[in-house]
Amino acid sequence: MSFLEDVHSLIRDQQNPQPEFLASYRRLLEINGALSWRDTVQAIRLLILGTPTEAERLKFLRELTPNRAIGEMLASAAAVLRELAPTVPTHAEPLFDCCGTGGDKLGLFNISTLAGLTLGACSVPVAKHGNKAITSSCGSADLLEALGIPTNLSPEEAGRTIDEKNFAFLFAPQYHSATRNVQPLRKRLSEEGHPT
């Protein structure tokens, strides 16, 4: 069984973890500097469910610094989100996703958005994933709206738009509605000076 198949079976076959487990995952992260892929899957599920207290979710996210988010942890977190996201039906292959770093606290303009538009103009099919500003003054959705580019496409509309125009925007709250319990925490962490 592949890594992704292992992650998907863990998500499908296990009951939701108990809210108090997030404190244990935070302590493991604190002690070991990283989590196993299984623990990462469960911790991300708890963040998405929003069942632990806000204080406990914030403590976990403060501990999850960029230098601790190693490859296996990132792959596990991405697999959870992909498992819960809708599929965009498109014939484009390969399909390029240029999701940016949003929340990096560097005050940069939307490099990934402009890169996606440029690639699309060069006939490279792009699914640009992003959001409105959460921690900055202008998110990718804000920029694209100002340019008159649709930002609220259904998966079917996005697929058609990619096939016809080589570019579509996938609005994060629509495609990853599971993150609604994490978005307010990102804003709070940003105000505290943490990268999000």
Residue whose entry in the numeric block shows the structure tokens 């649709």: 150
> DSSP secondary structure string, 134-178?
SSSS--HHHHHHHTT------HHHHHHHHHHHSEEEEEHHHH-GG
**What does the pLDDT look like over 11-28, one tens digit per residue?**
776 677 888 899 999 999
Report d(CA 181, CA 52) in Å as an integer: 11
What's the angle, vertex CA 160, arms to CA 157 and CA 164, rounded to 5?
Answer: 135
**What does the pLDDT look like over 2-11, one tens digit per residue?**
766 777 777 7
Q: Which helix (H) or strand (E) holds 119?
A: helix 111-121
Q: Give the residue-averaged pLDDT of 104-121.
A: 83
Label residue 161 by pLDDT band (50, 70, 90): very high
Q: Which two tokens stand for residue 116?
A: 């996606």
* CB 128, CB 169: distance < 8 Å: yes
Torsion of CA 61, 66, 72, 78, to 10 degrees: 60
Residue 119 has pLDDT above 80, yes or no: yes
Label residue 107 by pLDDT band (50, 70, 90): low
What is the pLDDT, as a whole number, of residue 105?
A: 61
Q: Give the residue-averaged pLDDT of 181-194.
A: 82
> Model pTM?
0.73
CA distances (Å), origin 154, targets 28, 144, 160, 173, 175: 39, 16, 10, 12, 9
Q: Which domains does the chain have, with CATH numbers?
A: 3-85 (1.20.970), 111-175 (no CATH)
Q: Which helix (H) or strand (E) holds 169?
A: strand 167-171
Q: Coil, strand or helix: which one is 80? A: helix
Q: Which two tokens stand for residue 62?
A: 């403060």
CA distances (Å), origin 113, targets 60, 120, 135: 30, 11, 16
In 10-142, the DSSP E strands lie at 126-130
Report d(CA 80, CA 124) in Å as an integer: 27
